[in-house]
Amino acid sequence: MKTKLLIEQHFHGCFGIDFNKASVDDVLYLSKEMLKYGIGGIFPTLVTDTVENTKQAIAVIKEAASRQTDNMAKILGIHLEGIFINPEKKGIHNPQHFMKLTPKNYKLIEDDFIKIITLAPELDEGLLDYLSGKNIKIQAGHCIGGDLSKCTGCTHLFNAMSGITHRGASTALSSLISDTIFTEIIADGVHVSNDALKLVFKTKPADKIILISDSLPITKSNLKEITFADEKVYYDGIKATSKDGTIAGSTTMLPDIIKRLASLNMFNPEYINNPYDYHNINLNGYIEWDDEWNITNIYHG
């Protein structure tokens, strides 16, 4: 089987590197290593932080993007997850840094390299209309609202959002029944059960499902403990959680997720193409896989 290179649009780091704290050299090293796993394009994802730290992280990632070479996964933009989310569904994020969803607040960190933003649409105070005129994907996440009419996507379905209900609207329900909204899913076996995955794959159009890892800096490293989003996060060999048991993110990369889904007969190769369509981008290169969805060769431009 031959497919396009993978695109990772939601991950916070790996190989011990945290995008919120990384240096330019860190980001360049990470992007080089990612290509070895068949991941040809990346959207480094920033967790909620102070305005000052967020601006610094954006500057670092932009500088790294300007210095990339052909043997690296291309940095396609930044995914800003947080700052404008709902405290009721904060997950691991630090609510001390949350701000109201206003254009004025967004302008404090605004940058043309932000290509995806996760926010709580039910708390909007004019920000969604402001963003809609820009080249930014607006994704509902860490939220409870069911009105996704101004959103293009949904962030890690089921996790940190209001779940399916048979009375009234909810974020998860609205995302599932929409044939136009692109929906992220973390299929690592920890974040979403296999039965819930089956529901997603039966309900959503195949061309609107985006596989993500939401991986943490712990991924592909020897770390067992890190500080992430101002909290201690502990890795027990299966999942990474805060002290109170809140899942902080994944410790699995996209190729492993694909192999897992294939072993359960739930993988559709079309999922690999979807980020290309969502972001209207093209990357040179392809992956060759064996019958069990192990990568055998990687070619890149």
How does pLDDT run across 258-287, given as a tens digit for each residue? 999 999 999 999 999 999 999 999 999 999
The confidence score (pLDDT) of residue 191 equals: 97
How does pLDDT run across 183-216, given as a tens digit for each residue? 999 999 999 999 999 999 999 999 999 999 999 9
Confidence class of residue 165 from pLDDT cuts 50, 70 and 90?
Answer: confident
* Domains of the chain, CATH where assigned: 2-218+248-300 (3.20.20.140)
| Mean pLDDT to the nearest integer, 104-129 | 98
How does pLDDT run across 23-40, given as a tens digit for each residue? 999 999 999 999 999 999
Percent of the chain with pLDDT over 70: 100
pTM over the 0.85 mark: yes
Exposure pattern of 162-191 as b/e (b: 16+ CB <10 Å)?
Answer: beeeeeeebbbbbbbebeebbbbbbbbbbb
The confidence score (pLDDT) of residue 288 equals: 98
Exposure pattern of 27-54 as b/e (b: 16+ CB <10 Å)?
Answer: bbbbbebbbebbbbbbbbbbbbbeeeeb
The confidence score (pLDDT) of residue 61 equals: 98
Average pLDDT of every residue of the chain? 97
Q: Which of 198, 98, 210, 195 is nearest to 152 (CA)?
A: 210
103: left (phi over 0), alpha (psi -120 to 50) or beta: alpha
CB hemisphere CA count around 9 (13 angstroms): 30
How does pLDDT run across 97-114, given as a tens digit for each residue? 999 999 999 999 999 999
Distances (CA, A) of 68 to 82, 137, 176, 188: 27, 24, 37, 29
How does pLDDT run across 223-263, given as a tens digit for each residue? 999 999 999 999 999 999 999 999 999 999 999 999 999 99
Confidence class of residue 301 from pLDDT cuts 50, 70 and 90?
Answer: confident
How does pLDDT run across 36-79, given as a tens digit for each residue? 999 999 999 999 999 999 999 999 999 999 999 999 999 999 99
Opening angle at CA 15, ends 157 and 57, nearest 5: 70
Strand partners, 39: 6
